[in-house]
Structure formats: C-alpha cells, structure tokens
Amino acid sequence: MHLPDVPAATDKDQVQRFCLGCGYLLQGLPEPRCPECGRTFSSVDSSSYSVRPFPNRFALQLGRPLGWPTHVIAVSLLVVSVWSVAVPGGFFRLQLQALSGWILIGAYWLLRCLVRIVVIARFGRFDRFRAGRSRAWLVAPAVCLTTLFLVLSGIPAFAVFTVHKLALTGLVREADKLPPGSKMSDRTVGLYEAEAKAVLEDGGVRFFVKGSGFIDRFGFAYSPTRLPLRDGDDDYRSLGGGWYVWHWHF
C-alpha cells in the first residue's frame, strides 16, 4: 500500500499544544479542532492554545471562580449579622455565630484565591479562568463590606425601632394607667421580647430586651418630660420623641 508523503516536522511542530478549553493534548490531529470539547485552534496563533499542561482536577476546581453556594452563604451571613445588631446591645450569641461564619468563609475565599494565583502562574490562564468570570470573586467581599457598614452604622437597630414605635406606644399607654414603680408582666412587643418592665414616675416605662447584651443588659426607656433617673451606672442615649436606649451596667 502506498502512503502519502509527509513533510518533515519543524521545531514549531514539535511544541506540545494543549487546548485552552479542556487541556486536551493537541498533537497528531486531522484538523485544528479539539476532539474533547470542540474548541478550534491555530498552529500559527499561540494565543489559541497553551504550551503548558492542564492543572489537575482538584487544583482546577479550587481555582475556579466562586459559585452560587458561596454567594448564598455570604448573603445568609449578612442577614444573621444584621439581625444580631437589630436590638440595643445586640444578640451576643448570634454575633458570635456570624463572626465565626465570616472567618470561615474568609479563609475559604483566601484559599481559593491563592490556589487560583498558583494555578495561573504555573499552567497559564485557561478558559475556565477567564477574566470575565473573575467578577464572581468580588461577590463575597462586597457582601462582607456591606455587612460591616450596616453593623457599624447602627442602621438596623434604628430601623427596627422605628417599625416598632406603634407597638411600643401601646405599651406606654398601658403603663400610664399604672402607679409609678409598678411591674408589668413580660410580653412580646413586635419582635422585641420585653422583660423586667417598670413604670416610671412621669408616666413612662423602661424594659430590657430579652437576650440582648452579654454581661451588661440593654433595653428601652420612655420618659416624655426628662431624662430617666439613673440607677448606679445606667446610661441613656436619646432616640428622640422621649425614647432612649437603656444601658444597664452589670
């Protein structure tokens, strides 16, 4: 059988080429197309292939942009973090859980970034590392910065208090019918679990928010005519309209 003449291979033809899409070895192919993923290449265009081998699957998986599961976890942590500071003094247990979650997701994000840098430095920038997909790496840091802003700004606590003003007004009206120094039964006021409520001399009332704070306790006080009397090292921060944040020092 007669075989067709094959031209001698040049030095350039001896260069190993790897598919940018899947890492397939592009040698001895009948046409300039990857048989694995169908991506085309050109032997005269070095940007259409890679001369370095593809990373292993484990490194490739870690080096890919972060996906929706990480984004969902980050948004969930945002919600937990915001709710943990939605009352005066915050919910310490929720704050601790949210902080632990952010530390874990931050460590995971940093690990993935480092693996990505190492893989790109060693194997090159394959299709799965395209710059257009790199925006996914910014989602978790953006959610984290948004969470930090909300937590430090005090916006969640003020917003929740504003929404509860109508329910709190009902509690004040009930306290106004009782003599000063009277104790009111514990109850839920909107989303607040109010406990240890005491009627003040000027017809106001003050109460702790159950579960808030850690060692010190926090709550609200309503005193329409003057600053509520301090018992020891108590502090009051005005919210306007006769309402105050009550900080009871242990």
Which pLDDT score, from 0 to 100, does residue 76 have?
A: 96
pLDDT of residue 117: 77
Q: How many Cβ atoms are within 10 Å of 195's Cβ, its own excluded?
A: 16
Radius of gyration of the chain (CA): 32
Asked whether residue 42 carries a pLDDT value surpassing 80, the answer given is yes
The tens digit of pLDDT for each residue in 79-123 reads 999 999 999 888 999 999 999 999 999 999 998 888 777 776 766
Domain ranges of the chain: 1-54, 57-154, 164-248
Contact criterion met (CB below 8 Å) for 63 and 129: yes
pTM of the model: 0.69
Confidence of residue 143 (pLDDT cuts 50, 70, 90): very high
Task: Name the H helices within the chain.
Answer: 57-63, 68-84, 92-123, 139-153, 155-163, 165-176
Query: Which amino acid, 148?
Result: L
- pLDDT bracket for residue 249 (50, 70, 90): confident
**Bridge partner residues of 248 (DSSP):** 217
